[in-house]
Chains A and B, each alone.
Chain A
Amino acid sequence: MNALLNPIRRLGALSINAIWRLGFISRFFVAILLNSGQSLLRFQLTIREVYFAGVLSLIIIIVSGLFVGMVLGLQGYNTLARFGSADALGALVALSLLRELGPVLAALLFASRSGSAMTAEIGLMKATEQLEAMSVMAVNPIARVVAPRFWAGVISMPILAALFNVMGIFGGYLVGVEMIGLDAGTFWSQMQNNVDLHYDVINGLIKSLFFGMAVTLIAVFEGYDATPTAAGVSSATTRTVVTSALVILALDFVLTAFMF
């Protein structure tokens, strides 16, 4: 009888745990918002985190943006040329980057580059009891450690996504115009005729803002919630990357359904 009931018991425990964590992360989010006064008043704290989360991600964002744009240029040209509409390459590259690829890929890279680092840092602070030490000294660890990192992620993400888009469009230009030899004027004018500022550019940036909030919230939460051991920090880091990736893609679907 027990052998029959145990799997069901395990399923129940997993569900309760998932709901508990969802509630905890929501309360954590509210706690961050309530305690973010200090990180906005002492903005130096946030600037320092923008450096670690945003500036140090520049290289990976620039290089991957360039390559994604170049691949889009090559693949798009091959397919479009089959239908005799290679002129639309500029519009194809710009629209797919602005609407989907830019925000989503930049957020995935940001989650694996900066999100995991945030989780490891906060988790290690917890494991070495630095967070408790802060509490003893009457310094709120959420205000001092968590909130600056959260706002740094929210600030960095749209900038990184915009940069990813620009590099991608430049990569598409390199392949389409410089390598394949399409007309530069057609490339840009097709892009300009088909891209709308509010509909495409602004909506893409709003998407990346949401992704930035989701990724950094997950990262700081997993760090704060990590089991204070070496193995716990490592599994929290893994969870950050996996959960972020899933949440980004699911959130992307929801946002796309609302926006376009």
Chain B
Amino acid sequence: MKRSTIDLWVGLFVAIGIAAMTFLSLKVANLTPQSGSETYTLTADFDNIGGLKVKAPVKSSGVVVGRVTHIELDTKRYVARATLTLDKQYQFSRDTSAEILTAGLLGEQYIGLVQGGDPDNLASGDRISLTSSAMVLEQLIGKFMTSFAEKGSQDAPAKTE
């Protein structure tokens, strides 16, 4: 076989390999360049974040508008503080509320933002004051069990809480 033919094939082989590795890093691992869009950060305090993880999406009306970049425990008030990095093109009013939701019954947890009615927008570094915690399945079941047991022992059909 001629040397130039071998060179051509090996060149193609290496090019295909580099293309495959690029595909794996960009399309599969989603290595998105950060410089592409400008971002700003907000914080939100939750009593309980459940299974929320760093890099979880932040959605508004189901559209991904940012990601959770940091989670820490505020040791003064003992609440969880999540730092959200949002795309600059999505601005939210000062009375926006944040809640932790679950995709499906057992899916990943994400933060849902609901736009408020205040004309002023949140600036970078602001705190979202209206928050509601994650639903923890064990606590729900616990509550259900207690109310069920009370109901059974008192045997009063009209009793509701």
Contact = CB atoms under 8 A, between A and B. Distances in A.
Interface of A: 44, 47-48, 50-51, 54-55, 58, 84-85, 87, 94, 98, 156, 158-160, 162-163, 165-166, 169, 188, 191-193, 195-197, 200-201, 205
Interface in B22-76: 23-25, 27-31, 55, 57
A48 B6 contact: yes
A160 B14 CA distance: 10
A58 B30 CA distance: 26
Interface SS of A by simple majority: helix
- Give 8 nearest A-B pairs by CB, closest first: A159-B17, A192-B30, A162-B20, A197-B29, A166-B20, A51-B6, A55-B13, A55-B9
A94 B106 CA distance: 20
A50 B9 CA distance: 9
Interface of B: 1, 3, 6-7, 9-10, 12-14, 16-17, 20-21, 23-25, 27-31, 55, 57, 104-108
A200 B29 contact: yes
B105 A84 contact: yes
B23 A50 contact: no
A192 to B, nearest CB: 3
Which of B23, B28, B105 has the most C-beta atoms of chain A within 10 angstroms of its own C-beta? Answer: B28
Nearest to B9: A55
A84 B107 CA distance: 10
Contact of A47 (B10, B55, B104, B108): B10
Nearest to B23: A166
Nearest to A62: B16
A54 B23 contact: no
Nearest to A194: B108
Contact of A166 (B7, B24, B104, B107): B24
A47 B17 contact: no
A188 to B, nearest CB: 7
Which of A47, A58, A193 has the most C-beta atoms of chain B within 10 angstroms of its own C-beta? Answer: A47
Given A51-B6, A85-B107, A166-B23, A98 B13 contact: no
A84 B20 CA distance: 32
A188 B20 contact: no
Contact of B13 (A54, A188, A195): A54
Contacts of A188: 27
B28 A159 contact: no
A191 B31 CA distance: 12
Contacts of A162: 17, 20-21, 24
A23 B23 CA distance: 41
A209 B24 CA distance: 16
Given A159-B20, A162-B20, A201 B28 contact: yes
Given A193-B108, A201-B29, A159 B14 contact: yes
B10 A55 contact: yes
